[in-house]
Amino acid sequence: MFLPHIKIERMLWQEDPGRLVFGLDEAGRGPLAGPVVAGAGWVNPIIIAKKFKGKELIRDSKTLSAKQREEIFGIINESENFQFGIGIASNTIIDQINILSATFLAMRLAVDELEVKINKLKKKNDIEADGKIFLLIDGNKKIPKIKTPQRAFPGGDRNIFSISVASICAKVWRDRLMDEYHKKYPMFGFDRHRGYGTRLHYEMIKKHGVCQIHRESFNLHQ
């Protein structure tokens, strides 16, 4: 089983031991319905080389089962050695500014939330960092119009540890949101396809029309 490495994070920490390295990934760019959700993930450099429960599970969220994602998300959520931020751009925002711009917006929101969490830990003296942030982004595009140093990594969710953490958090968070939407719109089966363009989803759109969380700027009919 291929596991993500920490070579990039280690290099950045060695260059500046006070640096905060955030991995970034998104879930939900392709679906016909629901929001796009971005995750920002941070791992405490102190524990990165140590063994800890669940480390072997942290990899690209797409290679994990739903049960595995929930398990590792629980580990991430319960440990102060992991921190994550979540950013959400609704289907309405996606329709207004396009999916790529909405994804960048969600990423900026995720970074903002994670920075707040890290600052709280700093006040408690749980970590030593000077607050300088460096972003590692899954994909081939950087976030535009921000001054924060960043690098884009195609396949980063498979290869870079902090991005893998972010990918798991984003995926679990979005799946839970879609489960909640399923309760409101059970006829569409959002708990099964999470809004993606499956055969079932297209059939349900044809039968019931669209609902308030469908992306009108997307092709909703086969």
Pairing of strands 20-27, 36-43: antiparallel
| Between 105 and 59, residue with greater pLDDT | 105
Q: What is the mean pLDDT of the chain?
A: 90
Per the structure, the complete domain to which residue 66 belongs is given by 7-208
Query: How many structural domains are present in the chain?
Result: 1
Q: Is residue 82 part of a domain?
A: yes
* Residue 215 lies inside a defined structural domain of this protein: no
* Model confidence pLDDT, tens digit, residues 35-66: 999 999 999 877 655 555 555 567 667 878 88
Distance (Å, rounded) from C-alpha 197 to C-alpha 220?
Answer: 8
20 within domain boundaries: yes
Q: What predicted TM-score, i.e. pTM, was given to this entire model?
A: 0.93
| pLDDT score for 111 | 97
> Which strands make up the sheet holding 20-27, listed edge to edge?
82-89, 36-43, 20-27, 133-138, 150-153
Q: What is the pLDDT of residues 113-136, one digit of tens each?
A: 999 999 888 777 767 667 689 999
Across 60-69, 75-84, 201-210, the highest mean pLDDT is recorded for: 201-210
- Would you state the pLDDT for residue 2? 63
User: Which CATH number is 139's domain given?
Assistant: 3.30.420.10
